Structure 1
Amino acid sequence: MKDTIVRLSCDLTLSKNREQSLSNALNHEQTRRKRSKRVLEELRSEEGSGTLFMSPSKIQRARDIADGREAAKAAQKAQKAEQQLERAHKKALKEAEAERKRTEKAAAKARRDAEAAAKKAANQR
């Protein structure tokens, strides 16, 4: 009985330690992944970490960065849609080919059965 209690206590301690280490690893992974920088932060990082003064050229640069990001998102979305259509097309072709093979196989079986029946009828005469 005493051994069982000690064993269960050890198992509990090991489980708690494992849970804690997994939790720490998850938190570390989440903090490691960085979100994309905002446009103003990107402009600030180009010049240094000081105060950011917005001149007309910097405003235009910020707009260009934002437009570029939106264009990249739109292009990625269009590419995904195109890939989805391509997959659907390939799937339809594959299904049509499978149906064609099934009909050919059924026709060949019917032809073999008819030949076998004719041969059997000829042998019985």
Structure 2
Amino acid sequence: MKYQYILLLSLLFIGCTVQKNKSLQNYEMVRAKLYKIDLKDSIIIYHIKNESIDGVFAKARYCNKEMKNQKLLKENKTYNFILEKEGVDSSVSFVRDVDYYMGGYIIRKAGTQTIYYWDCLNVCGKYIIR
């Protein structure tokens, strides 16, 4: 009976570890220059660029969290962003090219080379969390 509990707890721990790693597989760390910030009514649109990518993501304008290690984001500065890419279905042979909207504003137009990121883990409102 003792060994069954140990085995059960081990399997539970392994299952939680696998789930955690699976959920972070679409995230990537990107060091990029924040070249444009668009302030809208309820959202902020961030345009980032480095040597290999031209990307965009949007966040809510107001941050509900109070963080100790936060820094005000400024244009034309370079930051490390933790970004979530759009999930790509490998069974589909064609690439979807669609407009992306948030809060009634267009974030990315179809036909552009800009990469749309679903989320940024270390940005909250006008601040980046170090």
Structures share a fold, TM > 0.5?
A: no
Relative to the length of structure 2, the TM-score reads 0.27
**Which has more radius of gyration?**
1
More strand by share: 2
Report the structure, 1 or 2, having the larger helix content: 1
Higher RCO (CA < 8 A, seq sep 6+) = 2
